[in-house]
A and B are shown apart, each in its own frame.
Chain A
Amino acid sequence: MLEEKKKDLYISLFLLLFSIVFFASTYNLQRLTESNIGVEFFPRLTAIAIFILSSALFVQSITGLKKYKRNNSGNVKVEKNDYKKYFTVLLTVLLIIAYIALMWKLGFIISTAIYLFLQISVLAPKEKRSYVTFFIISVLTSCFIYYVFKVLLHLMLPAGILG
């Protein structure tokens, strides 16, 4: 409960900021047509709506926090946050970014095989780690997907250094 309200607080502040920046950037937009509303109308309307609603969320989270403090004063439980799980997420994100970035240079098959191998290894629990199996799966599926998409379905995939 407390965590949720805190999260709401942070995100509402972020959205408030976002709406202000959003609104401000509409001043760069110029009108190309003659009418009483132009390209800036809808964005401004949306920005205002986001501002109003995130203010409401902000207020809601503040009152929620106050109520919580009132009901639980003295019972301050420090919830331990398991930050380790976010490490895997971060690793996954970095892997995917690297995969996309390298695909153009190395080509689909190689980069996909490397990505699959690394990603499976990251996600697999320790007891199930069998690098040889992962390697075989990565290479085989990478080639399989390439074949299916390029030859059967005629979708272009980056060839990279393989030609």
Chain B
Amino acid sequence: MFELILSGFSDVFTIGTMLLIGVGVALGIIFGSIPGLTATMAIAICLPITYGMDPTKGLSLLMGLWIGGVSGGLIPAILLKVPGTPSSIATTFDGYPMAQKGQAGKAFGFAITSSLIGGIISIIALILISPPLAKIALKFGAIEYFAITIFALTLISSLSEGSILKGVLSGLLGMSIAMVGSAPIDAYPRFTFGFSSLDAGFALLPVLIGLFAVSEILKISETKTSTITEGVSYKIKGLGFSMKEFVSQRWNFLRSTLIGLGIGILPGIGGGTSNIISYVAAKNQSKHPERFGKGEPAGLVASETANNATIGGAMVPLMSFGIPGDTVTAILLGGLVIHGIQPGPLFFTQHVEVVYGIFAALLIAHIVMFVMMYGGMRIFIRLLSIPQYILFPLIIVLCVVGAIGVNNRLFDAAALMAFGIIGYLLIKFKFPLTPIVLGFILGPIAETNLRRGLMLTQGDFLPFLTKPIAAFFLFVAFASVSLKIWNNHRKSNNIDIQKGA
């Protein structure tokens, strides 16, 4: 494996690729640091750019964007109490109070270093876990894949915020959207209503960018906006914190990384959740929980370590099984497929150099992020003061360009607009958006494997429940949904009892 890692690094250490990683990280940090723009948006918009590149280069750019995007969120979180991305929500809890106390430099120092540590450890875990996991996945057949996909779908729906009912409905809606176009196995055109443009169904990118980016901008356009920040100055010496403070956080680093890693591996939840859970865990385990929320570095460390650790975790199911765990990995799945690579167990045998190129890019991008954020902090802060009313129209233009770039047709731009409106309406009706995208991707995978499985078993449904791996996943899927419903039922009963109703 060592030679593979070395060859991965040598693939990435070319000028072109390093430049791409650098640009990716910088752009990612910018997207991440501007509230309203997310890492997902950045990756979705830049995906068409990678079509002309070879896979390693294209994916290096996307990895840079991802890591920059997740890490960039800490800047406004600390300075303005506004999370740049959902992955930095918990960073505002203690980062902002620290800045208010004049400790912005220390806050940045801790946050950036935590991002580095969480990211690097989780990627090392990824490198160690995914090859053996892929070997196990080789034994999976259509029946097992169907079970895993159903498991992922239920997790996504039941773990998303808000009502589980709406979460599952969102997932089902996503699956319905994916059913437009050629059916799996026999390619019968479904729900195309005679439009030839719909024969292949909706492309992922317009759906994704429309649902996430355009809808968000529509929502923001409800209030005429103005600039957010004035320049906030701060002093930073060296790393910003002392060695003693660093060492005192060592268990925090470890625990938060594990939390981020674990949550990343679970399909359906990602950085947005892991930072909050890690914060809560740090608070519960601390000897001074009352300090949290008032500027306790441990809270900052917990949040930023976990959100970067989630990146490594989320890559595990994608690389080993070919099943995306969150929106970013869903886009990456699309990106890999465009380059003719099918992620999953065969990824490791057929395109192993791309695998290790990705690993190397992930590691290098973290180091680049570390250097850039320490060195270029002032520039990024300056960029925060670009008015939203200029920025968001620009983003729309980039979204449209991205959508058109997919297949060079007007239809995709129209789809972008349609899904932007749909996404906006769903936000208004308080439906979570992540399950839609995952339903859109996982639905066809589930259906294909269901029909293939049934062809294998000659139409018999029983093996789906008796084959051990499949049965295990289906059982866990069922259990997790039941548990969540049971919890919700108990919660509402408790509330009723308290109200004396």
Contact = CB atoms under 8 A, between A and B. Distances in A.
A33 B401 CA distance: 40
B186 A32 contact: yes
Contact of A25 (B191, B387, B429): B191
Nearest to A113: B397
Contacts of A60: 165
Contact of B186 (A33, A142, A155): A33
A35 interface: yes
Interface in B417-454: 417, 420-421, 424, 428-431, 443, 446-447, 450-451, 454
Contacts of A75: none
A22 to B, nearest CB: 7
Interface stretch (B171-179, B294-302, B344-352): B171-179
B250 to A, nearest CB: 44
A50 B179 CA distance: 14
A53 B168 contact: yes
Q: Is the interface of B mostly helix, strand, loop or mixed?
A: helix
Contact of B172 (A32, A50, A137, A142): A50
| Band of interface residues on B | 35 or more
Contact of A32 (B188, B413, B430, B450): B188
Contact of B169 (A42, A57, A112): A57
Given A25-B191, A57-B166, A156-B408, A123 B172 contact: no
Given A85-B222, A100-B400, A119 B188 contact: no
Interface string B196-240: 000000000000000000100111011111100000000000000
Given A7-B428, A93-B421, A39 B222 contact: no
Nearest to B397: A112
Given A36-B459, A39-B188, A157-B404, A46 B175 contact: yes
Interface string A121-141: 011110010000010010001
B376 interface: no
Nearest to A141: B394
B397 A115 contact: yes
Contacts of A33: 185-186
A10 B426 CA distance: 12
Interface centre among B49, B172, B223, B424 (most CB of A within 10 A): B172
Given A57-B166, A89-B218, A119-B393, A124 B175 contact: no
B224 A43 contact: no
A155 B398 CA distance: 12
Contacts of B52: 153-155
Contacts of A99: 400
A116 interface: yes
Interface string A30-71: 101101111101110011011001101100100000010000
Interface string A79-120: 000000110110011001101100110000000100110011
Interface string A1-40: 0001001101100010000001001000110110111110
19 contacts: A7-B429, A15-B169, A22-B176, A30-B188, A42-B179, A46-B179, A49-B172, A57-B169, A85-B223, A89-B219, A93-B417, A103-B410, A104-B410, A116-B393, A119-B393, A125-B226, A155-B48, A155-B405, A157-B401
Given A89-B221, A100-B413, A128-B226, 13 more contacts: A8-B429, A36-B459, A37-B454, A37-B459, A39-B188, A43-B176, A50-B176, A100-B400, A104-B410, A123-B388, A123-B393, A128-B389, A153-B52
